Structures are given as structure tokens and as C-alpha cells.
Amino acid sequence: MRIQDKTVVLTGASGGIGRAVAEKLAKSGAKLVLVARNRQRLRRLLHDLGGDPHVMLAADLGSDEGRQNLKLFCKKLDQGISLLINSTGVNEFALFEQQKQQAIATMMNINLLSPILVCQDLLPLLQRQHEARIINIGSTFGSIGYPGFSTYCASKYGLRGFTEALRRELAGSHTQVSYIAPRATRTELNNKNIVALNDALGTAMDNPSRVADKVIKVLSSPARSDKYIGWPEKFFVRINALLPRLVDNSLRKQLPAIRHFAKNDF
């Protein structure tokens, strides 16, 4: 897809990955509809991007009202929208038995239900274009169940399955659908306990700009099934699909560290 002059709806725009993607898209000549809950951070981002032709909408997409406001906002755009990037997400590192049910429900709403419903709301607008794309930002944990992140994994597994099904449903249409799965990334989603765990295990963490580069690369090429970022994570995804017991045994060795950092406040 040629990005220049295309109107892009970017949810989670004020987050770490969202902001990096916004900066890359703006440099590529896209016109951005920046969407997030935090109005102050959105204004700062809009200012940093130079304002016009970009616009912003402060909305809680986890609510019916927020999604309706986004739908109406996009309907009023003269040029319409050609690209939707769902980058909204929350995370919680905790043993399952310690998680509060409300936190689990919130995670499922924001990470899974919200992007699904946003896709449904905006798909008719995307289909008016001669060429359109949907990109859902997932996670490597959408393919590898990892201790300490059971409900986060569940939400990203669901998002990956939805993306795969929607891509197949829209096959032959002008709208292509892609799923991008970053590995651990240095954003606010990964708190100090996660960073400490990754340091202890020697797990690499990417900068958001690397994820943004991959988004631009995906947009510049035909839609693929999935795009995984990072090695050896993408290799582990394949091993987990073919020989999950090998991954079981590997992760079992990490359990003491996972339990230690999940239970402690650093």
C-alpha cells in the first residue's frame, strides 16, 4: 500500500508503540486520526507531529460511547479512511490465582473485544476505498502461552484468531488484514517487574521504533498471515505449534524466576 496521503486511524496512539508508529507514518506522508483515552498526551503527540493534516480524538474504545464517537468522527472525514491500526492494549504480570476478576475483564475488553468491535464499526468505511488495510498489533504471547501472563496470552490468542479469520473472510476484497506480533518491548505495558524478569532470563526487549519499522514494512508489502518480530521468539512460535512439549519443558525451568518476580515489588 502506498502510505502517502492515506488517512490512517491509529488507536492507542499515545502509547509507546502507538506513538512510534504515528511518527513513522507521519514521516511517510500519512494523514493520521490519533485515538487514545488520554487527551493531554494526545495533544502533545499532535503538537509534536506538527498538527494539520493530523487530527485527534480522545475516546475510551472500551466503551460503547467511545466506539460510537470514533465511528461518527470517521464518517465525517471527507477523504474517508484507508487504514486501521489497532494498537490499544493493557498488560498485567501476575500469577493467575492473584489476578482480580475485574482486571481480567478489563484486559479482555481492551485487548480483544475493543479491537474486534472497532473493526466491525469501521469496516464499511474501509470497504469504500479501492485499497484498504487493517493491522492488529498482537504479541508473541498470542502464540506462546507464558506463565505469569495467562490472561494476557488469552486476549492475544483471541486477537490472532480473529485476525486470521477476518483475513480469510475478506479474501478477494479490497481490504487486506494483517497481524503483527512484537516480542517484549520497552513500553509502559512492561513494568519494572517484567523488565527485571527479562533481565534475569536474558530476554531481549525491543525499542518501540523497531516495531514501528516493521509496521511500515508490512504496509509496503502484500498482506501476510502473521508477522513476528525478533529472534529466537519467531522460532519458538513455530516450535510451540509443532512440538509444544519442548516449550513446556523449557518454560518449566523458568518458573522459579517467574514466580519470584510476579510476587515481589521492586
Tens digits of residue pLDDT in 146-201: 999 999 999 999 999 999 999 999 999 999 999 999 999 998 888 899 999 999 99
Per-chain mean pLDDT for the chain: 94
How far apart are alpha carbons 163 and 138 in whole angstroms?
Answer: 10
Residue 2: the pLDDT is 86
202: in domain: yes
Average pLDDT over every residue of 197-206:
93
Residue 264 has pLDDT above 70, yes or no: no
CB 69 within 8 A of CB 46: no
Peptide linkage before 53 cis (omega within 30 of 0):
yes
230: in domain: yes
Residue 190: the pLDDT is 85
**Tens digit of each residue's pLDDT (9 = 90 or more) over 9-48:** 999 999 999 999 999 999 999 999 999 999 999 999 999 9
1: confidence class by pLDDT, cuts 50, 70, 90? confident
**Tens digit of each residue's pLDDT (9 = 90 or more) over 208-262:** 999 999 999 888 876 566 789 988 888 999 999 999 999 999 999 999 999 999 9
Average pLDDT over every residue of 102-117:
97
Q: How many helices (H) and strands (E) does the chain have?
A: 11, 7
> Can you give the residue range of the structural domain that contains 59?
7-263
Domain count, the chain: 1
CATH code for position 235: 3.40.50.720
Q: Which H or E run contains 181?
A: strand 175-181
2: in domain: no
CB atoms within 10 A of CB 58: 17
Integer-rounded Cα Rg, in Å, for the chain is 18
Residue 263: the pLDDT is 80
160: in domain: yes
Residue 223: the pLDDT is 57
**Tens digit of each residue's pLDDT (9 = 90 or more) over 36-47:** 999 999 999 999
